[in-house]
Amino acid sequence: MCPGVHTHDKVVVCYVASWAFYRKPSEEASYDIGNIEPGLCTHLIYSFAKLNPESFRMEPFDSWLDLKNEKQGGGHDWYRRFVGFKKSYPHLKVLLAVGGWEEGAKKYSDMAASPEHRRSFAQSALEMIHEYGFDGLDLDWEYPGHEGRGGRPEDKDNFTELLKELRRLFDNKTAGLLLTSAFGAAPRTAKSGYDLKEVSKYLDHLHLMCYDYHGTWDGKTGHNAPLRGSLSLLPEGQKEETAEDSVDYYLGEGVPPEKLVLGVPFYGRTFLLKYDSVGDGLGEGAESVGFQGPFSKADGFLGYNEVSNIGHD
């Protein structure tokens, strides 16, 4: 048995943020493909590919990192190396994710609104999966129906149609290809964007993003990923959204429990208290920008390596 390979029958999905490769090179900051421990996972997901807003085809996001680029004198060849983990870990399923927060919602909304564009996207996704040897696709459209990010109300139905097209094409061309998708955890996001009972028919797993419940955008402090509501720290009368609430909502909407995967963040959110805050608990007033970590250099964000180093400098 390979080191770290488990014998349980649970689904353990691990997303790999490829852009971490570009962080300041040091033992604590840079994350190369050799740092991945595939034996901890049953499913390994490469994040992210992108959607071309003109052709509505799926493409590599960073060809210099993702591909070999022989014509350009080299490249880091991460796609091939990532898929190569399956040679040493035969239990492993390796998927390619498309989308993410930085991609926005508008071009996915535009693509899904047209049957022709949906077919074009699905065909390109299948071609990429075959070309690079992935086991399936993970769709990270964040989020259908989110008008503030360029979505439209009809995204809810179009998202279902997109998944239906992907499932049809995958099953017709290559038996066994996996189709998964990431879902917003907040019930208000789910209500506007997903017909959960219907989309569950076409997906192997639904990845529930149980994080970012709170951040500097709230104007006050709050847990990034609360499991259950705090009984005493929030101001009286306020109810905190929690992972437990999200899971209960998805199950209540008809998602089969064996298809629902609970997302756990390996990062934290940071806050700077406002000068007139009177305490240090949840719900205190916070500035619109949180402090940065020394490696990630992102406002209001600390990676796992930065959280674990607090107090050890």
- The answer to whether 302 and 293 have CB atoms below 8 angstroms apart is yes
Alpha helices (H) along the chain: 63-66, 78-83, 85-88, 106-112, 115-132, 155-173, 187-193, 196-199, 243-252, 304-309
Domains of the chain: 13-209 (3.20.20.80)
Mean of pLDDT over the chain: 91
- The answer to whether 9 and 95 have CB atoms below 8 angstroms apart is no
Sorting pLDDT into bands at 50, 70 and 90, what band is 252?
very high
Helix (H, G, I), strand (E, B) or coil at 9: coil
Can you give the pTM of this predicted structure?
A: 0.92
Between strands 58-60 and 267-269, the pairing is unpaired
- The answer to whether 51 and 99 have CB atoms below 8 angstroms apart is yes
The residues annotated with a catalytic role in the active site are: 142
Give yes or no for residue 233 having a pLDDT over 80. no
Return all residues near 83 (Cβ < 8 A) that are at least 6 apart: 94, 132, 133, 134
Return all residues near 284 (Cβ < 8 A) that are at least 6 apart: 220, 221, 273, 274, 277, 278
Neighbours of 295 (CB within 10 A): 19
Average the pLDDT over 241-254 and give the result: 96
Give yes or no for residue 231 having a pLDDT over 50. no
Q: What percent of the chain has pLDDT over 90?
A: 74
User: pLDDT digits over 54-110, tens only?
Assistant: 999 999 999 999 999 766 667 899 999 999 999 999 999 999 999 999 999 999 999
